[in-house]
Structure 1
Amino acid sequence: MTPSFAIDRPHVNDLPLPGLFFALFILINLSAFFSGSETALLTINRYKLRHMADQGHRGARIARRLLERPDRLIGLILLGNNFVNIMASSLATIIAIRLGGEAAIGIAAGLLTLVILIFAEVAPKTYATLHPERLAFPAAYLYRPLLKLLYPIVWSVNFFTNGLLRMVGIVPEGAPPTDLSREELRTVVSEAGAMIPERSRSMLLAILDLEHATVRDIMIPRNEVEGIDIQDDEEDIIKTIRNAGYTRLPLYDGSIDNVIGIFHARHALHALLEKGLSKEHLRNLAQEPYYVPEGTPLYQQLLNFQRGRQQIGLVVDEYGDCLGLITLTDLLEEIVGEFTTDPSDHTEEIHRTEDGSLLVDSSISLRALNRALRWELPTTGPKTLNGLILEYLETIPETGTSLKLHDHPIEIIQTSDNAVKTVKIIPRPVRKVRR
């Protein structure tokens, strides 16, 4: 009879309890790593990651490459996370049986759930949300070779999951788009805080707002346009040039609708020294007028000024009638703002009185008023304060009439037959937000 030999193989039940507890401890830490790194990689700022990658940061480059296929990255992380969690559950069951029998299995399951929830889920994910770079970059070094090693399994998992997503109309391949809309970019700039100085933030926001405004919003209306009438005598022309607030003036024949060209004030001195301010000489000195449609967005008009090397344009409507004037200076002020911060200093239409109230010329544009007083009056309808008041009251108000216009108290000081001339405003103090 042939003797038989029994070979004793090591079994997990034969391992000492300290070894099982140590293995369980390792598995819980691995679970925490997978959970935290998943949150870190998926919540890291994509623009910061792109910047660091472009600067040569190796970890950022690897992480960015992994995020180009988020389906594969998520598949790899969940594969590892679920594997270690299942192994931890099995070990906890074995430990429970060895310590207290089958009756202790339920207690072990509850304790393991609590431990994993606290130490392997909530804590690492919270830390990863607060400091994503600290986990994302080290994890990227590990996941790249791990993805190559487990690629067949990851590919198989993604094959079925991506097929399921396609059945419901979702295309899973490719990284999610990172382009920001104008409103999203506006929010990013507004919330930049100390990273961008307040002055720079205001300029950036003003540039974004250029797309929403047209030349009609900031133009000088035709009744306020300073120009030279060629039919005036020489003395009146010289007086107009001397008192003008601009160096470039439209030269017209009888009416602003009949513009001959744009006259530069510096040419007046040369004209006087050479041939005098004769009508023919004025015509020869005037440059060809540049016309701008009233609906042109400010950003586009800024580019048009740059391309055409122009600094002044006549705003016309669809019938070709002149509505007003726009200058490059006025357009640039929409971006950089005024040069002073006191509204009574930087806007001719606003004057501060001794009691602190403001006397405002109602012909002021709403955009200028918003910028001067930091208000948010609507600019989609009427373009001037007078127009907004008339739209609100639906009549020409009498002197002394008080109203609350978009939560701002206003008193009518002076009116005419067809318009409000002057109003009184008591500005509310601006509250400073402590950071």
Structure 2
Amino acid sequence: MPERIAMPASRVLLFLVAVLYPLVWVLNRLIALLFKPFGIDSQSSNKDLLTNEELKTIVMTAVPPSASGDQDMLINVLELEDATVDEVMVPRQEIVGIDLNDSWEDISAQIHQTRHSRLVVYRDHLDQVEGILHLCDIISLYRDERFNVQAITEIMRPCVFIPEHTLLRQQLLLFRQQKQRAGLVVDEYGDIQGMVTLEDILTHIVGDISETEEEALPEIVALSEQRYDVQGGISLRVLNRELGLRLPLDGPNTLSGLIIETLGNFPKVGTEVALEGCIVRVKAFANGIVEQSEIELLPPEDEDN
């Protein structure tokens, strides 16, 4: 199960986060020494001489292409500084749960058929959450021959609610301190927006740690040097990094969200949207989400002149 990997991996990642600041400190001191002969006082400002973006540039130029996995992980660690839980959460419409008001036959079938290790337990709708059911806890119910709705309500665990703009680095520490591995992400009104797990955060940093043999579809597929097939749910942060774009990060977290926000309505298949540095054409749309799109990179402006 992924949980067997998640906790040991989190200790490694917390170590990486801890050593990152001394690295920045050393680099800043080295730059201060270089500036000193020119009469530049590097201590006159409280701001770091090296920003996260500058450190990312160093990582991308210093780490050889053969170690691209290490490069991605270092960049993702740097992004913990400003990445938030709503960027990596499972969105509300994809949360799998059981409604206690359903028939026992339906509840039992869903528990047996699910491929998830946790199920949200609610009544009528997702905003009336009762708790989180960990499937590993059900083993005791089978042993005691108590597999029924009442028993499920007795063994389910209380929910942890997480504000949607909580920083990933902060939530990583909170999961460890609270000995929790999952929580429901809520907006300012308390409405559930999604679910985030320890594995989601670790996957954001080090890549897929799932033990399942099933391969996920690639988020980006190159069609040519300038054209790419892209999944609509891809993070804008990842898209910027992989394709060298500068799409805004202060609004929607996904390409689908940015397309819908830019248009001001839901697109149709074939709709084209001009974004900074690229043209996006919608290839698949369903249930209020752009599922697939094609991106054509535009040449830099100075090359057009």
What's 1:290 paired with? 160
1:288 CA drift (Å) = 1.5
Given the alignment, which residue of 156, 160, 174 partners 1:304?
A: 174
User: Is residue 360–residue 425 contact of structure 1 (8 Å, CA) maintained in 2?
Assistant: yes
User: Is residue 359–residue 422 contact of structure 1 (8 Å, CA) maintained in 2?
Assistant: no
CA distance in 1, matches of 2:268, 2:167: 36
2:299 counterpart of 1:406: no
TM alignment of 1:309-388, pairs within 5 A = 309-338=179-208, 345-347=215-217, 350=219, 362-367=232-237, 369=239, 377-388=247-258
Q: When the two structures are aligned, how many residues end up with a matched partner?
A: 262
What's 1:419 paired with? 288
Given the alignment, which residue of 387, 394, 398 partners 2:264?
A: 394
TM alignment of 1:81-100, pairs within 5 A = none
Structure 1 stretch 260-269 or stretch 374-383: which is displaced more?
374-383
TM alignment of 1:206-245, pairs within 5 A = 206-245=76-115
Counterpart amino acid of residue 170 in structure 2: Q
Distance 1:352 1:264, change over 3 A: same
Counterpart amino acid of residue 425 in structure 1: E
Structure 1 stretch 366-375 or stretch 384-393: which is displaced more?
366-375
1:378 CA drift (Å) = 2.9
Cα distance per residue 1:229-281 (max 9 Å; x no partner) = 22222222233223333201221122211222111112234323424432221
1:375 CA drift (Å) = 5.6
Counterpart amino acid of residue 138 in structure 2: A
TM alignment of 1:45-60, pairs within 5 A = 47=26
User: Is residue 362–residue 385 contact of structure 1 (8 Å, CA) maintained in 2?
Assistant: yes
Cα distance per residue 1:386-414 (max 9 Å; x no partner) = 22112222333333223343334433234
Q: 3-state DSSP class of the match of 2:193?
A: strand
1:282 CA drift (Å) = 0.6
Higher relative contact order (CA 8 A, sep 6+): 2
CA distance in 1, matches of 2:153, 2:83: 34
1:178 CA drift (Å) = 11
Q: 3-state DSSP class of the match of 1:326?
A: strand
Unaligned runs of 5+ in 2: 1-24, 298-305
User: Is residue 162–residue 183 contact of structure 2 (8 Å, CA) maintained in 1?
Assistant: yes
CA distance in 1, matches of 2:148, 2:132: 16
User: Is residue 268–residue 285 contact of structure 2 (8 Å, CA) maintained in 1?
Assistant: yes
Distance 1:379 1:347, change over 3 A: farther
Counterpart amino acid of residue 336 in structure 1: V
CA distance in 2, matches of 1:243, 1:232: 16
Counterpart amino acid of residue 252 in structure 1: Y
Q: 3-state DSSP class of the match of 2:127?
A: coil
2:135 counterpart of 1:262: no
Distance 1:359 1:230, change over 3 A: farther
What's 1:64 paired with? none
Counterpart amino acid of residue 244 in structure 1: T
Cα distance per residue 1:18-68 (max 9 Å; x no partner) = xxxxxxxxxxxxxxxxxxxxxxxxxxxx959x99xxxxxxxxxxxxxxx8x
Could you tell me the TM-score, scaled by structure 2's length? Answer: 0.69
CA distance in 1, matches of 2:191, 2:294: 35
RMSD value over aligned CA atoms? 4.2
CA distance in 2, matches of 1:319, 1:272: 39
1:283 CA drift (Å) = 1.0
Larger relative helix fraction: 1
User: How much identity, in percent, do the aligned residues show?
Assistant: 35
Counterpart amino acid of residue 422 in structure 1: E
TM alignment of 1:167-186, pairs within 5 A = 180-183=49-52, 184-186=54-56
Counterpart amino acid of residue 285 in structure 1: I
Q: 3-state DSSP class of the match of 1:191?
A: helix
Distance 1:208 1:282, change over 3 A: same
Cα distance per residue 1:161-220 (max 9 Å; x no partner) = xxxx9xxxx999x99999654434444433324499433232122111112111112111
User: Is residue 245–residue 277 contact of structure 2 (8 Å, CA) maintained in 1?
Assistant: no
Cα distance per residue 1:57-88 (max 9 Å; x no partner) = xxxxxxxxxx8xx89xx9xxxxxxxxxxxxxx
What's 2:70 paired with? 200
Distance 1:218 1:367, change over 3 A: farther
Counterpart amino acid of residue 405 in structure 1: L
1:324 CA drift (Å) = 1.0
User: Is residue 232–residue 293 contact of structure 2 (8 Å, CA) maintained in 1?
Assistant: no
Distance 1:178 1:189, change over 3 A: farther
Cα distance per residue 1:293-349 (max 9 Å; x no partner) = 112111111111111111101111222221110011110112112469xxx95347x
User: Is residue 222–residue 323 contact of structure 1 (8 Å, CA) maintained in 2?
Assistant: yes
